[in-house]
Structure 1
């Protein structure tokens, strides 16, 4: 479409310098934190879907096909393959609580079974949305507690050993979910629209993952993926069209008493707020593992990009990929840094980017075993966002 109109002399065009456009967008992201970037080409390349993915959701971790409707009445038909609203049903696994491979397999199975029950038992005000949801059976099971797990094992986001550790965690997560979906496919039947995916041909994330990820470190795999591929082909696919999406897990992490999703912690203690409550949060085992935790403020954008790229290798949807930057005093961020960071994200195959978090005041609170009652000025300064309450820190 771009080439067509570029060559059409009758089509009025405004030419824009690509570098200036990128700098403008990057500056907006840097100053407001609110440019939710997603790479639509990568979303359509590294995916099991045959249908086109056109957009993401607010939190930028959902990557599902959509299709337009021609008339509003189509939304009330539950038997026609006309348009499509993307619906994804989420769950999370607290990896810092898992003690064995058998337990991970069990948790993965019940996470997907829970999602399956929710899809089929839910009331859909628009019947057509329910029809597409039940035919796709999209699931997005994320990870919670990665920072806690890494602290427990003495691993760091910025070191090669830590990156291999993250690779193992992400591989294990996807492997057990894929085996669980295969088992549910045998028990309950494959997704009715399985033919709209590449699963019947034996697609695996390894087939389309970005090859530049392998340059980050010398990664080794831990599971027999070819044997699993053969089982999937023999079964004609699996129960779900997709399996994994890594969301911020803010509300879930609070309820589970663990750290947010894939993110490193920012401080050992935080005051978290939303429109309804104030929560005094402390990093799990912070009194014992305080020095083992690595603060997000100390992790360069390059290492954060590599974290997400490694996990994206084992993810069929996307990631709510947050970044962190200290801007203390008269420090500034040069446009060359913004461009370099963007190009590195593209190079490593990140599908999306979420918040840009900035630390603009010097110092970091030390661990306090007895967290005092928040002063009014602390509450006023506590992070607050009304866009998506379940996702904000």
Structure 2
């Protein structure tokens, strides 16, 4: 292999050897090491194999590519990083025996080196470039501070790793990175080293921040740092740099600074701190000047700008954020307290059927995405292929070419490099272009009619699912000939739709097509399976249970399928998100209802403040948000809460907890909004809403059941005093909508808990995002295994081998196997049942991912029909073991994108779902035959979802 084939120039990349010497990077040495590894394990069989040389060459290329992907010409790689990559490519390639032997070989030699004395004392370059002795005394203090208060994390292993990474002339910055990497190498054997790595990164951040604020080199340990002194200087600098809102200087900054809790800097794990460091902390041309508690206080002050007692409210908000009890969405964290305070997460638009509206939508998308907004676009009104264009007397090319431009707009506007621009296009199932719409994410076909970067979702009316269950025909129309279908839903849609079918039979409709409903449904599921899109979302539940039926129609959801707000040509729906950290509101004895009530009431106030403070990039968004004032309070850390409560995922007890916890959140969210209405007034369009009639989300289930002829399998039990709350809500609400469960892909990383309502993904894996790759290890499992004296190197190796699953590991007790079952070992019927229980309390929707091991067409058909029968409003990604980018193993100190695809399915558990009332046959009018079982494909197609994490909402 050539050493000069990469863009960075392989020959310029340095390798730091263990003795501190530096040499040029040579991929040929990787090839030699891999060859020796195969020969050592497979002996003569490997030597005689004709495929060995090309196999080793390919594995070498993979390792080289990962190592140099983000490397600069002056990069210095440590020999351990290179060996980590060798281990990784072996595991990714399925060469498990070779990889295991390689790991044991490394461990044996590492132990031998630990016994050898350090022979050389190296020097480092200080800030002025002068060579000075390495300050081991300070390093020992910093590492000691980082390990303080944590169990099972002695400082010596970190110091040993640091010594290995040193070389003569190492810079201050390189030494700081070496400290972090030294702790990071130990995470997979002891999860608490993740906190050590975070604190060592914080030491690097302190030096960077204090030097920028002071204008001269400054270092401070955690004990030496004074937020009281730093914070006023931070505010002054931020205002001077035109980044912080000058109004922050008008606060009693001394009082604010005195309220900061420096000890909470130690609460972050490495993934959380690195995420904040890379993407959230304010910087001046790449040099950060914002420390973690200043970050939280800046966000809190920004949200308190219009409060009467701003300091008291800012401190109240800060307490909630810095304790990780509640976290605002990413746009709020990015921009609160800054000169451009775009704080909202999600924007929903409807595109009208004319060129002016279509191209205006592209501009609106760009402006909304520029400041971190996630987009949901309803494209149903745009006429379909073959429809007549009166102005030119020609024929339309349909909606697909316009979607291609929308896709490219999302790519071009990438939110200032902080995260990818993101949009989701929605189309109703009766649109004549729906079959082409299903193909948008395919990797084959005419690329001009593909949208590889944009999400897509089906907006499915109940009438279509009734036709599927009846194995009846379905008719596709162009919206220019059936314009009122767009705004119709429920029984009204059914009547109008059937009327158009009769008109088509009479020859009064020019563009239409008849298909078998089950064939279209099968194709929808096949495309979802193959490409991950379009998602399945349900039009009628979103509208029939909407509190705002009197002011418009819900035409789509948003980018992550949790927002269900009205849209029109005059109003772009906006939602303002934040999530309660449920893990902080449970103890081993159950839900901490008092703490949860306080958190929810404060959070609702914060989210309501967003609406008035917000910077609106287009007038349609401002008009809608100020008129209806919707917010979306969600939750995260659900899986962590289950572990604390010792509730087995996929059990009746876990479903019951999902129900009761959401009931408490919903109760207090509505109560808090009603309290704000008494203080600040109701939202403008309150009169005529379901709220004004005392119809709460749990009551609106009856509206959906009525429209479906009683065919609805939703639980309606409750435990709180809802009658008193109904009377309170009738008196006024501050917000048209109050709840929505978003994915929380990033803010849950900041808080160090599981995403949203997601089940445990893996007990050990490598998570990849825009900040890099991070070893994620289930701390709850490790604590339990330690208590049983089962946590050792062999257990780490087994977890790697079995993709983070404990199910196949014989020595793990059955009760722990059940408690720590991974997402693919828990039947998705449980997830749907838990989501249905939550949905009865939520006035919007949920981002619900579905997991399925060894999927096939029949399973998918049953799963999505169950979601519909269970009253869900939307679903999100479908994940399968053959589809998701799951790490085969985790490695010490990995860098770069390390996603691997596992070709096989994990062994699935066999839980018995909570009994769900069997749907009785739908009350289908005589025009549709009675339901009959629909044929479904038995052969599974491989889903190719490669990055199911959505970071656009939160």
Place the TM-score, normalised by the shorter chain, in its bin. 0.7 to 0.9
Higher relative contact order (Cα pairs below 8 Å, separated by 6+ residues): 1
Q: CA deviation at 1:148?
A: 0.8
Summarize deviations over 1:14-51 as a string: whole Å, max 9, x none: 10100000000001111222222110011011221122
Q: Residue 316 in 1 paired to residue 843 in 2?
A: yes
Summarize deviations over 1:274-302 as a string: whole Å, max 9, x none: 23433333335332257333311012222
Unaligned runs of 5+ in 2: 1-495, 587-591, 786-815, 903-944
8 Å CA contact 2:888, 2:901 repeated in 1: no
Q: 1:223 aligns with which of 709, 720, 724?
A: 720
The equivalent residue for 1:350 is 872
8 Å CA contact 2:633, 2:740 repeated in 1: yes
The equivalent residue for 1:15 is 514
The equivalent residue for 2:626 is 134
2-structure distance, mates of 1:205, 1:289: 40
The equivalent residue for 2:578 is 91
1-structure distance, mates of 2:675, 2:765: 41
- CA 1:155–1:285: 2 relative to 1, 3 Å: same
Structural RMSD (CA)? 2.8
2-structure distance, mates of 1:224, 1:367: 49
- 1:131-170 equivalences in 2 (<5 Å): 131-170=623-662
2-structure distance, mates of 1:157, 1:122: 39
Q: 1:67 aligns with which of 568, 579, 596?
A: 568
Q: 2:894 aligns with which of 365, 370, 374?
A: 374
The equivalent residue for 2:687 is 195
Q: 1:5 aligns with which of 496, 500, 508?
A: 500
The equivalent residue for 2:797 is none
- CA 1:391–1:135: 2 relative to 1, 3 Å: closer
More displaced stretch, 88-97 vs 43-52: 43-52
Of structures 1 and 2, the larger Rg is shown by: 2
Q: Residue 39 in 1 paired to residue 530 in 2?
A: no
2-structure distance, mates of 1:97, 1:61: 23
More displaced stretch, 36-45 vs 371-380: 371-380
2-structure distance, mates of 1:54, 1:186: 31
Summarize deviations over 1:204-236 as a string: whole Å, max 9, x none: 11112266899677x742210001111222x2x
Summarize deviations over 1:322-379 as a string: whole Å, max 9, x none: 011123xxxx51x3332222221111111111101111299x98998xx622376834
Summarize deviations over 1:85-110 as a string: whole Å, max 9, x none: 11000000001101532221221122
8 Å CA contact 1:321, 1:352 repeated in 2: yes
The equivalent residue for 1:272 is 767
Q: CA deviation at 1:265?
A: 1.1
Q: Residue 252 in 1 paired to residue 747 in 2?
A: yes
- 1:297-336 equivalences in 2 (<5 Å): 297-327=824-854, 333=856, 335-336=857-858
8 Å CA contact 1:203, 1:229 repeated in 2: yes
Local SS of the residue matching 1:132: helix
Q: Residue 56 in 1 paired to residue 557 in 2?
A: yes
8 Å CA contact 1:258, 1:283 repeated in 2: no
Local SS of the residue matching 1:194: coil
The equivalent residue for 1:243 is 738
Unaligned runs of 5+ in 1: 69-82
- CA 1:353–1:215: 2 relative to 1, 3 Å: closer
The equivalent residue for 1:389 is 951
Runs of 4+ in 1 over 4 A off after TM superposition: 210-217, 364-368, 379-384
* TM-score, L = length of structure 1: 0.85
1-structure distance, mates of 2:594, 2:752: 23
